[in-house]
Structure formats: C-alpha cells, structure tokens
Amino acid sequence: MASLKLRKSAGVLHADLRALEPEGVVRMYAPGQVIFSTGDKGDGFYVVVSGRVQISAVVGPKESRVLATIGPGDFFGEMAVVDDAPRSATATAEAHTKAVFVTREKLLKLLERRPEIALNIIREFSARMRSLNQKYVEEIIQAERLAVVGRFATTIVHDFKVPLAIIGLATDLACSRGSRMPLRRQARAMVSKQTLRMKTMLQELIDFTRPGTTPAELKPMKFAPYLNSLAQEVSAELAQRGVKLVLETPPPSVPVNIEPQRLSRLFYNLLNNAADEMKDGGKITLRFKKSHGELQVEVQDNGKGIAPEIAESLFKPFATFGKPNGTGLGLTICRRIAEDHGGRIWVTSQPGKGATFSFTLPLAHKSSNAAV
C-alpha cells in the first residue's frame, strides 16, 4: 500500500487524496518513461507522490504539445476514467517519479461511498479545462495575429509589383546612354508618382489595422481633369497586360470632395482586379452618371464574371476565393475609401458576362471653390 505524504492539491482536499491510500498501488517511473499513451485503455487514476509528470498530446501533423505538468500531491488520468474512453493524451515521467495507481473499478466504488470526492475531482477537472481553454485561446489569437501579418506582407508584395516595375523602367530610361534631359525629367516624374503611390498603399494598410484614425482630408475639385489624368496613366499600365481602358462617356466636369491619392487607390484596385480576371486581355469600360446630388462611377469588365454565392462576401477582409496573388484586402480597402468619401460601393455580375463595380461620390456644394 502507498503511504501518501501529499500537499493539498488545487481544488482537491488533502483528506480526499488520503482516502485513496488504501485503494492504490505504488508505481515507480524513470525519467522519460511513458506512463500511458494516447489511445490506451483508461484503466485507472494516478496521484503523484514525488517527481513530475508531463501530459502531452498531438495537436497537429506529428506535432506534440505539452498540455500540463503534474507535481507532487496532484493527480492525472481522471478523464479516461470518468468518461470510460481511451486515453486522450500521453503521460511521461519528467523526473524520477513515484505515483499511486488506483484502478478504475476501485475509484468508482470509492466515489460511490464518498460522493464529495467526486465533486472535488470534478471541480479540479473543470478548473484545469478552463485553464487549458484560456491557454489555447491565447495561442489561437497569437497565431491569427501572425497570420494577419503574413497576409499584409503578401498584400504589400502583390500591390507593389506594378509601381516597382515602373520605377525600374524609369530608372533604365534615365540611366541609358544618350538619354536627354526631357527623358530624364519624365523618368523622374514617373519615379516620384509611383513612390507616392506606394506610400499611399502603405498608409491604407496602416489605416485598415487602426480603424477610427484621422478622417479623410477631402477637398473640392473638378472630377473631369482628375479622372482624365488618372485614366491616361492607368491606360498605359493596362495596355502592357493586353487590357484596353475605354471611357464610354466623357467624365463630367462636376465638383466633388475627394482625397486624390486615396481615391486613386480605389481606381487602381478596381482596374487591376478587373485585369487580373482577364488573363488573355480584354476591355474595361468606365461610365459616369450624375443624379440626386452624387456622381456614380461604374467599372465594367468583360471577364468571366462573379458567382452569385461569393458576390456578397467580396468586400470582406481576406476573401480571396482562389486568387493566386493578394489576400482579398484590396476590395475591403476600396469599400473603406468609398465610405470615407461619403459614398458607397457594390458589385453586379452575371457568370460569363463580366462584372460591374459601382461606387458613388457626393457632389460638392455649389458654394465650394472647386479647383479646375
């Protein structure tokens, strides 16, 4: 028989553990010795007299994780005994360990005679599960944070490919033999514009991770000059991908309150997403409608369209739907930009007939001094 010299276990009284003394058998374990393994029959219950026992389980592909370390005066192996199921974890002696083993049959008979012991064991078991749940909630949150960082990094790499390519081209032009001053000035302007574009992208990512930051700094300006300049720049980029940008109607020369760099990001995202869906080239059409104090912009492509079951989720963060590059964050940022401008954004599509992304911009008040 075992002579237990135990401290009070957390949640289970010293006297309760002593009640197990006449029922148990002393067992000795060397460091590293497996006491029981996952899947073994739950044939008994252990109380540690001296030493330490490590409880571990496989939580991933061949990845073993330590769930708990059991010291003197504590117990383990209760779960399989209570639910009469195979062991759900592995117990290994961490040091020279002396433990009392009580068979399942003897333990159940003792619990029938002393129901207060059962209550204390259940309380201790509940406390352990709460602690374990909290531990894994914290680990899951940490893992998700790391995953989000990885997704943001992927987004940055994807979105920076085009401006970096343009910067590289401009550098080659400026440094080529016999390059004249006008060409150098053009290259410098290209580099400056794309650098500002990347800076804006980074700021959008920062804004996405910190909602409620400084509101957009909107200023009144004429829409037509802004859009014509943007279309000229983007058309050249899209042409390199075999995509033609068409303005079905001239942009209206109406005053709108916008933050030019942020609104340009919205256009870039929509146009590049459309081009991504037309691997073999195609056409993107821009339309403009003015009504009820707002300007509606439509971006239509002639790609394969969007399945109805995913259309409603397109603006949710990280909704990639099989897209090989990016993380699906682009459309989420588009929605935020549209809303920060006081507008809204939506999509309509029929499979096989392309997709149309539409967004609105409130017209500036007549009293505003819009820049021409």
Q: What are phi and psi of 24, to 5 degrees?
A: -105, 175
Residue 283's pLDDT band, with cuts at 50, 70 and 90, is: very high
Residues 256 and 223 sit within 8 Å (Cβ to Cβ): yes
In the chain, the amino acid numbered 136 is: Y
Question: Bigger pLDDT: 115 or 353?
Answer: 353
84-105 residue pLDDT tens = 778 888 999 999 999 989 888 8
**Cα(246)–Cα(248) distance, rounded to whole angstroms?**
6
202-242 residue pLDDT tens = 766 666 666 555 567 899 999 999 999 999 989 988 998 89
Percentage of the chain lying above the pLDDT 90 cut: 28
- pTM for the structure as a whole: 0.51
What is the average pLDDT across 304-315?
79
2: alpha, beta or left, given left = phi > 0 and alpha = psi -120 to 50? beta
What sign does the dihedral 69-37-87-29 (CA atoms) show?
Answer: negative
In terms of Cα–Cα distance, which of 327, 370, 335 is closest to 150?
Answer: 327
Six token digits for residue 111 = 């619990």
Question: Bigger pLDDT: 3 or 127?
Answer: 127
Residue 295: the pLDDT is: 96
pLDDT at 267 over 90: yes
Six token digits for residue 251 = 């942009």
Q: Is 286 exposed, middle or buried (0-12, 13-18, 19+ CB in 10 A)?
A: buried
Residues 113 and 106 sit within 8 Å (Cβ to Cβ): no
In terms of Cα–Cα distance, which of 93, 98, 96 is closest to 53?
Answer: 93
